[in-house]
Amino acid sequence: MQNIKNIDQLNQNIEATLKNIADIPAEDEKSDELVQSLLELVGKRQSFVAQFISSDDIGADTLQKQLALTKKYTEQVKVALQHRQDLLSKGRSNKRQINVYQSINSNR
């Protein structure tokens, strides 16, 4: 029963971290810390899920709930990753444009 409370707390922390990642700009240094925190939380969650799978005390409904949450988190992470990649790509494009304008300006 304690493991279920622990994983429920981890799930809440993962959800809060995912929300914070979605809300914070990619350029913010805190975003790197949040991603690192998410990685640690997911690692801990994986350990609990592995214990649940090997345990005879955990029912199928609990495992199904955790599987559904895993799928939900996977989709949220994919969205956040795509958003970050888009921002980085846009940032590179903007940097190239600035460099072109600087080059043009220096040739005047």
Residue with the larger pLDDT of the pair 104 and 41: 41
Residue 62 contacts residue 52 (beta carbons within 8 Å): yes
Give the pLDDT score at 44: 95
Residue 52 contacts residue 66 (beta carbons within 8 Å): yes
For residue 93, pLDDT beyond 80: no
Average of per-residue pLDDT across 51-63: 87
Average of per-residue pLDDT across 33-52: 92
pLDDT band at 97 (very low <50, low <70, confident <90, very high): low
Mean residue pLDDT across the chain: 85
Residue 77 has φ and ψ, to the nearest 5°, of -70, -40
Q: Which amino acid is at 46?
A: Q
Q: How far apart are CA 32 and CA 70, in angstroms?
A: 22
Write down the domain spans for the chain: 2-106
Can you read off the two tokens belonging to residue 15?
Answer: 């959800």
